[in-house]
Amino acid sequence: MRPVLQILLWPIAAVFRFGLEILIWFRPSIAQGRRVFPVSVRRLIEQATAVEVHYAEVGSDEPPKPGEIGTPMGFCSLGMVRVDSERARRNVIRSVLKANHECLGGFKCLDAEYAVRFESELGRAELTMCFWCRQVWVKADTEGADRFYPISGRPVSLLDRFLQKAGIPKPVREEIHA
């Protein structure tokens, strides 16, 4: 039933996204919350040769306090899968970059439930994602890191599918956002 519903709703979602892009083009003030990843972060993600997908423990990766310079990479992982297939890696990369590009912003609770690590010849980037508040915290050794960026919920089902296919059960979380 769900795939049929997705097929039926896909044209509506496509028209909505296209309409939103046109609206933003004519009224750029609507997109003030849109902040795409800087070129350095985007290039690092695009050229990733290794991708890891994690369920993150809520609150285990706190961004730095005001005045504090960065935090070391790391979060408490509740389960991880390494994406070995080139095609699957490209799907994760494309989904994350597209989710950042299409999102206008959200709140800032950052109780990240997912984390994705990207490794390439340019370095390593770690993204902790909270799809409820539509924010991603980017840690990397590159310009534009150690800050929040908006992200849509696009990658959730893809990330869940990889983790559950590897036999990692979805964590039972308290309703912290209720």
Tens-digit pLDDT profile for residues 93-111: 999 999 998 887 666 666 7
Tens-digit pLDDT profile for residues 31-72: 555 678 999 999 999 999 999 999 988 766 666 565 554 445
CATH assignment of 34-165, given 1.10.150, 3.30.1490, 3.30.1460, 2.60.120? 3.30.1490
Please report, for the chain, the start and end positions of each structural domain, with discontinuous segments joined by +: 1-32, 34-165
What the block records as the tokens of 99 is 């989710």
* List of residues 6+ apart from 163 with CB closer than 8 A: 53, 55, 79, 81, 170
Burial of 22 (0-12, 13-18, 19+ CB in 10 A): exposed
- pTM, whole model, 2 decimals? 0.73
Helix (H) or strand (E) holding 106: none
